[in-house]
Every structure is written in C-alpha cells, then in structure tokens.
C-alpha cells in the first residue's frame, strides 16, 4: 500500500480512532480510494477533510444489514475492492467474581461478528477485483492475545482467538480463488482503548509504528503480521508450552481476589 501511482480500492473499518485513524490518513494521502467506516459520521467527516478519494460509511459493524448496505454502496462507487481491512474492535475485561455473559455478547459482536459481516459484504467485491486481474487481499486486526490465554481476557482473548481461527480457515478456502488473507496480531499499541488498561503494557508502540508495520505486511500479503516482534514472538513461544506450564506462568499474572476485593 505504498505506491501512490497505483491507487487501490479499499474498505477500512474502525477508521476514526487509534490504529485505524493512522491507517486511514496514510491510505488517503497515498491516493487510494478508501471507504471509511466508523460509528460517528462527524468523526468520519473530520478525518476525510476535503479529500475527494474518501467514501464515508458510518455504521455499527455488529449490524449485519448495515454492513451489507455498505458493501452495496462501495460496489456502486468503486465497483470492486482490492483490500478489505476490518480493523474495528473493542475490549472489555472480565471480573470472574461477577460473571457477565452480556459482556461476551458485546465483545464478540464487534470483534468476531463485525468481521464476519464485513467478509460477507466484501467477498463479491474482492472477487470482482480478481476477475479484473488483481490479487485482492482480505485482512483483519486480531491481537497478540490470540496466541496465549491471559487473566481477565476470557471475552477479549477468546473473540480474537476465534477471529484468527476463522480467518486461517477462510484463507484455505479462498486460496483457490486467488484471494489472499492476512491476519494482524498487534501487541500493545498506545490508543484510547489501551489507555484505559490498568496493568503494565510491555513494549507498547505508538499508532504510527503500528500503521507502518501493518502497511508493510499488507503490501507483502504476509499471512501473519505481528509486532513488536520481540514481544509477539515471546507470546507465540509461551502459547506452545505444555498446558501445566502455561497455567503456572499465567497464574502469576492473575490478580489476588482477596487483594482486589479489599481495594474495591
């Protein structure tokens, strides 16, 4: 996604905050035609400014009908998609003392089903690009937490692990059609979402570093785009340890319920 002389048709969700905003700005500045999706229309307007290569599609990714309508609007304006980049997501941590199934519904709606809805809407447009001789790419932002179960991440981590599994399986089925699939597994990135975290975040990078790593990986159609690699490689290694050892290591990261109760 680095060559301004070859503009591409792109759909980016989660475009107005954090990593998505950094990606959107770069893609627009490079001259690509970018359909931008986020919940708030005013935020999309501010992001796009006076650029004429932006298509504003405000929506909630958890709304299947809205996503399909967005696909129709992209078809009408662009006629195809060279890249579908599903970046929208959310994070809520579980307090197991007060188990809340609705928390899982909210997190999975955005992190997993939001991407599934996008894939349904985007596939016909990716196939159209392929029919025109392009090598289209479908990509989505998972998380390095998909590599390793962590305390309080029952909803967030499970949604991202499910997303990564879904995309790896889909990659196998789309390969024969000439449609590539990239999965993005960031470590900690400084965003409004991670600013709410109440625990240490080792090797956290800024959004510009994240956007650079993602765009380089997408340009190469890399299967697994993960960064910062010193951090993500450690998580990958921990994720393949025997279950008993993983449990003992993870238990050290869990909060003491008695101490948590006393401080609340």
Tokens of 14: 């989660």
| DSSP-based three-state secondary structure for 146 | helix
Cα three-residue angle 35-193-38, rounded to 5 degrees: 20
Tracing tokens 């998609």 back to the chain, one arrives at: 81
Tokens of 97: 């003392």
Q: Can 147 be counted among the known catalytic residues?
A: no
Point out the catalytic residue in the list 11, 113, 156, 227: 156
Q: What is the H or E stretch that residue 84 is in? A: strand 83-86
CB atoms within 10 A of CB 51: 13
Instruction: Give the single-character DSSP code of 112.
Output: I
* Segments in the chain forming alpha helices (H): 18-29, 41-48, 64-77, 101-108, 114-131, 154-174, 207-219, 229-239, 243-253, 257-263
Give the catalytic positions in this structure: 156
């Amino acid at each position: 996604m680095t060559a301004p002389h070859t503009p591409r048709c792109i759909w980016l969700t989660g475009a107005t905050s954090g990593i998505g905003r950094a990606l959107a700005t770069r893609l627009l500045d490079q001259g690509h035609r970018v359909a931008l999706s986020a919940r708030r229309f005013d935020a999309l307007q501010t992001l796009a400014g006076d650029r004429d290569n932006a298509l504003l599609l405000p929506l909630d990714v958890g709304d299947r009908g809205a996503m399909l309508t967005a696909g129709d609007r992209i078809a009408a304006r662009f006629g195809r998609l060279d890249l579908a980049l599903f970046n929208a997501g959310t994070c809520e941590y579980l307090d197991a003392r007060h188990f809340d199934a609705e928390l899982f519904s909210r997190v999975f709606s955005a992190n997993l089903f939001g991407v599934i809805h996008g894939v349904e809407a985007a596939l016909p447009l990716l196939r159209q690009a392929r029919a025109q001789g392009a090598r289209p790419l479908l990509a989505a932002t998972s998380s390095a937490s998909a590599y390793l179960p962590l305390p309080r991440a029952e909803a967030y981590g499970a949604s991202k692990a499910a997303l990564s599994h879904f995309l790896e399986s889909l990659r196998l089925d789309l390969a024969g059609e000439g449609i590539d699939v990239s999965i993005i597994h960031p470590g900690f990135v400084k965003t409004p979402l991670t600013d709410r975290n109440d625990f240490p975040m080792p090797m956290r990078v800024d959004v510009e570093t994240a956007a650079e790593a993602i765009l380089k990986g997408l340009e190469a159609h890399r299967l697994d785009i993960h960064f910062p690699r010193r951090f993500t490689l450690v998580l990958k290694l921990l994720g393949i340890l025997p279950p008993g050892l993983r449990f003992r290591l993870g238990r050290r990261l869990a909060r003491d319920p008695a101490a948590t109760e006393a401080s609340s």
